[in-house]
């Protein structure tokens, strides 16, 4: 995105604004493109494996949580139309440097786990597209590692996302889901498939329906996240205080409907035991509904979708780590910039190593996706509370206001879904804990050696604007 000052405007709330080039249509495509991707392409089968044919139920629950939290984000982004996201809101609300750091590092860690999920999904779709025999999962892991290395190389060369590129990739991602929906409609309309499966709960052992839905919702939330990234485009959006409310709500609603239709179509066309096997569930839907459709083409579309997810998240994670080092809340070495490429090469290297470790030692898509949603649920909890705290900080311009009960519901629901009260795999807490512990150790080293940090002379508002 250009950083020139041509065409800039001054938005209520003060501060120097970036070039405002994003209108409602481009913002809608950005929101939709950020939500679409790895979650629906790779995890539909895992969700069906948790609840049976009623795979739409966890998606509906995840959609509801996302929409409630999005309303809190809307109040904050229209109140403070700046490209700083959750770190800014946390610091304004609580003024605790360590809490702001934890929130920022959690967002960064969620990007790494999301990219690791996408890497394994990319490898699985590559195997399907070119009929590769990657036996026993070792081949999938090796391809995923190579993919992460390729993303790091692209990241190092300085290739960032632009709005126009996002439009193209969003159209590719959306086309794959529309293919699934159209094939499903044609096949089911012709009498193929079994609609009754979409109303059945196929539970393992003595697990309750509520427990199964909650466990699957923890996975489905991975498919609905991404909307929170849109607030970082506030300084490049025309009239953000007017544009964001209708566009963000419309984007989440549109993707929610698409996901529900895809979930119902998938379970109706493919037997549950087959749908839950492997990491390419939508390929099985296409094959079941239209055996003559070129599966290689669809696999390539899926590869584009998950590759976009990985690249965007690794770009975000490395720049956020660089930003925290630049503001001296992490070791200064992480803020080094390559003199030739002008990219944060140390931050790219560290985030890449973390992603490689996750791909190697975790492996399961559901655990990586669940860890991503866990980290963001913790962030969402803080953001929902911040909305209520910041009611004591009035601003001069009009802005969106979420109803107080909605913000309270958002905080409680996110906190509950992130807590051990939800039947979430223990491994997800371990992975999230290890990632955050790495961050805390780095912060502790910096705090011990940085008089500036101990004096509180740190501009946390800029952490996500790096």
DSSP 330: S
**pTM for the structure as a whole:** 0.81
The CATH class of 24-450 is: mainly alpha
Across the range 351-377, mean pLDDT stands at 84
pLDDT for 192-219, tens place per residue?
888 888 888 876 666 788 888 888 898 8
CA–CA gap between residue 27 and residue 37 (Å, rounded)? 17
- Decide which of 437 and 366 is more confident: 437
Give the residue among 103, 52, 374, 427 at the shortest CA–CA distance from 218: 374
What pLDDT is stored for residue 135 in this prediction? 55
CA–CA gap between residue 466 and residue 462 (Å, rounded)? 7
> Exposed, middle or buried: residue 211 (CB in 10 Å: 0-12, 13-18, 19+)?
middle
Give the residue among 277, 295, 307 at the shortest CA–CA distance from 146: 307
Mean pLDDT of the chain: 82
User: 29-38, 231-240, 321-330, 422-431: which has the highest mean pLDDT?
Assistant: 422-431
Neighbours of 457 (CB within 10 A): 11
**Stretch among 55-59, 74-78, 203-207, 408-412 having the lowest mean pLDDT:** 203-207
Two tokens at 373? Answer: 């949603």
What pLDDT is stored for residue 240 in this prediction? 84
- Residue 98 in this model has a pLDDT that exceeds 70: yes
- Residue 79 in this model has a pLDDT that exceeds 70: yes
* Confidence band, pLDDT 50/70/90 cuts, at residue 403: very high
Dihedral of the alpha carbons of 234, 240, 244, 246, in degrees to the nearest 10 = -160
- Decide which of 215 and 364 is more confident: 215
Two tokens at 45? Answer: 């089968």
- Residue 425 in this model has a pLDDT that exceeds 90: no
* Confidence band, pLDDT 50/70/90 cuts, at residue 364: low
- Residue 13 in this model has a pLDDT that exceeds 50: no
- Residue 136 in this model has a pLDDT that exceeds 60: no
Across the range 225-238, mean pLDDT stands at 75
What pLDDT is stored for residue 387 in this prediction? 96
What pLDDT is stored for residue 24 in this prediction? 87
- Decide which of 332 and 14 is more confident: 332
What pLDDT is stored for residue 179 in this prediction? 92
Two tokens at 221? Answer: 């939330």
- Residue 153 in this model has a pLDDT that exceeds 60: yes
Give the residue among 65, 61, 36, 34 at the shortest CA–CA distance from 47: 61
- Decide which of 130 and 389 is more confident: 389
Two tokens at 340? Answer: 């030739």
Q: Are 276 and 77 in contact (CB under 8 A)?
A: no
- Residue 162 in this model has a pLDDT that exceeds 60: no
* Confidence band, pLDDT 50/70/90 cuts, at residue 15: very low
User: 150-164, 223-237, 269-283: which has the highest mean pLDDT?
Assistant: 269-283
Two tokens at 103? Answer: 């929130």
- Residue 84 in this model has a pLDDT that exceeds 70: no
- Residue 3 in this model has a pLDDT that exceeds 90: no
Across the range 314-341, mean pLDDT stands at 81
What pLDDT is stored for residue 436 in this prediction? 93
> What are the residue ranges spanned by the domains of the chain?
24-450
Q: Annotate 44-62 with DSSP letters as a single string.
A: HHHHHHHHTT-THHHHHHH
Across the range 210-237, mean pLDDT stands at 80
- Residue 429 in this model has a pLDDT that exceeds 60: yes
22 three-state secondary structure: strand
- Residue 398 in this model has a pLDDT that exceeds 70: yes
- Phi-psi bin for 37: left (phi > 0), alpha (psi -120 to 50), beta? left
Neighbours of 164 (CB within 10 A): 10
Across the range 258-273, mean pLDDT stands at 91
Two tokens at 278? Answer: 């492997």
* Confidence band, pLDDT 50/70/90 cuts, at residue 278: confident
What pLDDT is stored for residue 7 in this prediction? 41
What pLDDT is stored for residue 1 in this prediction? 36
The residues, ordered by sequence, that sit 6+ positions from 175 with a Cβ below 8 Å of its Cβ are 301
Q: Annotate 232-294 with DSSP letters as a single string.
A: GGGGGBSSHHHHHHHHHHHHHHHHHHHHHHHHHHHHHHS-HHHHTSSS-HHHHHHHHH-TTS-
DSSP 192: -
DSSP 195: G
Q: Annotate 419-466 with DSSP letters as a single string.
A: STTS---HHHHHHHHHHHHHHHHHHHHHHHH-HHHHTT---GGGGGG-
User: 16-20, 79-83, 100-104, 409-413: which has the highest mean pLDDT?
Assistant: 409-413
Two tokens at 202? Answer: 């196929």
Across the range 8-35, mean pLDDT stands at 63
What pLDDT is stored for residue 5 in this prediction? 35
């Amino acid at each position: 995105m250009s950083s020139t000052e041509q065409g800039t405007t001054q938005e209520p709330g003060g501060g120097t604004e970036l070039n405002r080039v994003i209108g409602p249509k481009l913002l809608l495509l950005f929101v939709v493109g950020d939500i679409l991707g790895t979650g629906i392409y790779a995890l539909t089968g895992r969700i069906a494996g948790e609840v049976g044919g009623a795979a739409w139920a966890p998606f509906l629950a995840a959609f509801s949580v996302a929409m409630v939290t999005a309303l809190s984000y809307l109040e904050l982004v229209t109140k403070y139309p700046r490209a700083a996201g959750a770190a800014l809101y946390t610091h304004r609300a609580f003024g605790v440097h360590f809490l702001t750091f934890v929130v920022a590092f959690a967002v960064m860690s969620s990007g790494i786990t999301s990219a690791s999920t996408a890497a394994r999904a990319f490898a699985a779709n590559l195997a399907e597209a070119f009929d590769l025999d990657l036996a026993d999962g070792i081949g999938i892991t090796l391809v995923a590692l190579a993919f992460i290395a390729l993303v790091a190389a692209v990241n190092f060369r300085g290739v960032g996302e632009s709005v126009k590129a996002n439009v193209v990739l969003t159209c590719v991602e959306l086309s794959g889901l529309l293919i699934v929906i159209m094939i499903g409609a044609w096949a089911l309309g012709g009498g193929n498939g079994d609609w009754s499966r979409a109303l059945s709960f196929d539970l393992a052992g003595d697990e309750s329906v509520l427990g199964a839905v909650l466990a699957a919702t923890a996975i489905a939330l991975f498919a609905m996240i991404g909307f929170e990234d849109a607030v970082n485009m506030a300084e490049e959006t025309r009239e953000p205080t007017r544009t964001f409310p209708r566009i963000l709500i419309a984007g989440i609603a549109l993707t929610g409907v698409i996901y529900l239709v895809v979930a119902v179509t998938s379970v109706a066309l493919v037997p549950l035991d087959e749908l839950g096997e492997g990491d390419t569930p939508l390929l099985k839907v296409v094959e079941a509904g239209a055996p003559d459709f070129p599966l290689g083409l669809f696999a390539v579309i899926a590869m584009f979708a998950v590759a976009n997810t990985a690249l965007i998240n690794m770009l975000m994670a490395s720049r956020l780590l660089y930003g925290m080092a630049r503001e001296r809340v992490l070791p200064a070495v992480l803020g080094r910039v390559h003199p030739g490429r002008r990219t944060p090469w140390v931050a790219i290297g560290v985030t890449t190593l973390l992603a490689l470790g996750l791909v190697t030692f975790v492996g399961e898509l559901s655990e990586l996706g669940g860890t991503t949603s866990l980290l963001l649920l913790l962030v969402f909890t803080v953001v929902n509370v911040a909305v209520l705290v910041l009611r004591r900080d009035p601003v001069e311009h009009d802005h969106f206001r979420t109803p107080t009960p909605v913000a309270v519901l958002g905080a409680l629901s996110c906190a509950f879904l992130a807590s051990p009260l939800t039947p979430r795999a223990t491994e997800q807490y371990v992975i999230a804990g290890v990632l955050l512990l790495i961050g805390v150790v780095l912060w502790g080293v910096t705090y011990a050696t940085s008089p500036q940090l101990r004096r509180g002379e740190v501009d946390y508002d800029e952490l996500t604007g790096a």
